[in-house]
Chains A and B, each alone.
Chain A
Amino acid sequence: MQFSAGSRSALRAVAGLVMAAVYLPLLLVILNSFNATTSGSFPITDFTTRWWTAAWNNEGAREAIATSVRVAAAATLISLVLGTLVAFALSRYSFFGKSTVNLLVVLPIALPGIVTGVALSNTFKTVLDPLGIGLGMFSIIVGHATFCIVMVFNNVQARLPRMNRNLEEAAMDMGATSWQTFWQVTFPGFRSALVAGGLLAFALSFDEIVVTTFTAPPGTETLPIWIFNNMARPNQAPVVNVIAAVLILVSMIPVYLSQRLTGDDRRGD
Chain B
Amino acid sequence: MSEDRGAKKLRRTMLPLAVLAASALALTGCSGGTDAAAGGGGITVPDIPAATEVGDGEGEVNIVAWAGFVEDGTTNPDADWVSAFEEQTGCMVNRKVGATSDEMVQLMRTGEYDVVSASGDASLRLIAGGDVQPINTDLVPNFGNLVEGLKGQIYDTLNGKSYGVPIGRGANVLMYNTDLVPEAPDSWAATWEPDSEYAGKIMAYDSPIFIADAALYLMATQPDLGITNPYALDETQLDAAVELLEQQNGIAGEYWNDALKAVSSISSGTAALGTGWQVIVNLAQNDGGPVEAVLPKEGATGWSDTWMIHAEAKNQNCAYQWIDYASSPEVNAAIAQNFGMAPANTLACEGSEANIAHCETFHATDEEYYKNVWMWTTPVEECLDGRTDVTCTNYQQWTEAWTRVKG
Q: Is B55's CB within 8 Å of the partner chain A?
A: no
A236 and B1 form a contact (CB under 8 A): no
* Chain A: number of interface residues, binned into ranges: 20 to 34
Chain A residues with Cβ below 8 Å from B64 are 218
Q: Which of A205-254 contact B (CB under 8 A)?
A: 213, 218-219, 228-237
Given B267, B283, B288, B289, which contacts A234 in the complex, CB threshold below 8 Å? B283
Shortest beta-carbon distance from A221 to chain B in Å? 8
Chain A proximity mask over B268-309: 1 for CB below 8 Å, otherwise 0: 100000000001000110111100000000000000000000
Q: Is A7's CB within 8 Å of the partner chain B?
A: no
A213 and B2 form a contact (CB under 8 A): yes
Given A63, A218, A234, A237, which contacts B97 in the complex, CB threshold below 8 Å? A218
A233 and B74 form a contact (CB under 8 A): no
Asked whether A234 and B1 contact (CB < 8 A) given A57-B77, A218-B103, the answer is no
A233 and B267 form a contact (CB under 8 A): no
CA distance A234 to B286 in the complex (A): 11
Asked whether A229 and B96 contact (CB < 8 A) given A39-B260, A41-B264, A218-B107, the answer is no
Asked whether A236 and B76 contact (CB < 8 A) given A37-B288, A38-B287, the answer is yes
Chain B residues with Cβ below 8 Å from A232 are 5-8, 258-261
Chain A residues with Cβ below 8 Å from B95 are 219
B283 and A39 form a contact (CB under 8 A): yes
Q: Which of A218, A228, A231, A233 has the most CB of B within 10 A?
A: A233
Q: Is B98's CB within 8 Å of the partner chain A?
A: yes
Q: How many residues of B contact A (CB 8 A)?
A: 37
A38 and B286 form a contact (CB under 8 A): yes
A230 and B6 form a contact (CB under 8 A): yes
Chain B residues with Cβ below 8 Å from A233 are 6-7, 67-68, 75, 259-260
Q: Is A40's CB within 8 Å of the partner chain B?
A: yes
Q: Is A58's CB within 8 Å of the partner chain B?
A: yes
CA distance A237 to B73 in the complex (A): 16
Shortest beta-carbon distance from B224 to chain A in Å? 40
Given B68, B98, B287, which contacts A39 in the complex, CB threshold below 8 Å? B287
Chain A residues with Cβ below 8 Å from B268 are 41-42
Chain B residues with Cβ below 8 Å from A213 are 1-2
B264 and A40 form a contact (CB under 8 A): yes
Closest to B104 in A: A218
Q: Is B263's CB within 8 Å of the partner chain A?
A: yes
B283 and A38 form a contact (CB under 8 A): yes
A39 and B258 form a contact (CB under 8 A): no
CA distance A98 to B5 in the complex (A): 43
B1 and A39 form a contact (CB under 8 A): no
Chain B residues with Cβ below 8 Å from A60 are 74-75
CA distance A63 to B74 in the complex (A): 9
Q: Is B99's CB within 8 Å of the partner chain A?
A: yes
Q: Which of A47-66 contact B (CB under 8 A)?
A: 54, 57-60, 63
Chain B residues with Cβ below 8 Å from A57 are 77
CA distance A231 to B67 in the complex (A): 12
Shortest beta-carbon distance from A126 to chain B in Å? 13
Chain A residues with Cβ below 8 Å from B74 are 58-60, 63
Chain A residues with Cβ below 8 Å from B103 are 218
Chain B residues with Cβ below 8 Å from A229 are 5-6, 67, 97
Shortest beta-carbon distance from A45 to chain B in Å? 8
Q: Which of B54-92 contact A (CB under 8 A)?
A: 64, 67-68, 73-77
A234 and B5 form a contact (CB under 8 A): no
Closest to B7 in A: A233
Closest to B268 in A: A41
B75 and A58 form a contact (CB under 8 A): yes
Shortest beta-carbon distance from B71 to chain A in Å? 10
Shortest beta-carbon distance from B176 to chain A in Å? 17
Chain B residues with Cβ below 8 Å from A234 are 7, 259-260, 263, 279, 283, 340
Q: Which of B93-146 contact A (CB under 8 A)?
A: 95-99, 103, 107
CA distance A38 to B264 in the complex (A): 9
Chain A residues with Cβ below 8 Å from B96 are 218-219
CA distance A237 to B258 in the complex (A): 12
Q: Which of B1-55 contact A (CB under 8 A)?
A: 1-2, 5-8
CA distance A42 to B269 in the complex (A): 12
CA distance A182 to B138 in the complex (A): 73
B267 and A39 form a contact (CB under 8 A): yes
A236 and B5 form a contact (CB under 8 A): no
Chain B residues with Cβ below 8 Å from A236 are 75-76
Chain A residues with Cβ below 8 Å from B76 are 54, 58, 235-236
Chain A residues with Cβ below 8 Å from B7 are 232-234
A-B contact pairs, 25 of them (CB 8 A): A38-B260, A38-B287, A39-B263, A39-B264, A39-B283, A39-B284, A39-B287, A41-B264, A57-B77, A58-B74, A59-B75, A63-B74, A213-B1, A228-B2, A228-B5, A229-B5, A229-B6, A229-B97, A232-B258, A233-B260, A234-B7, A234-B259, A234-B279, A234-B283, A236-B76
Q: Which residues from chain B sit less than 8 Å from chain A, CB to CB?
A: 1-2, 5-8, 64, 67-68, 73-77, 95-99, 103, 107, 258-261, 263-264, 267-268, 279, 283-284, 286-289, 340
Known: A218-B97, A218-B99. 15 other contacts (CB 8 A): A37-B287, A39-B283, A41-B264, A54-B76, A59-B73, A63-B74, A229-B5, A229-B67, A230-B6, A231-B260, A232-B7, A232-B259, A233-B68, A234-B7, A235-B76
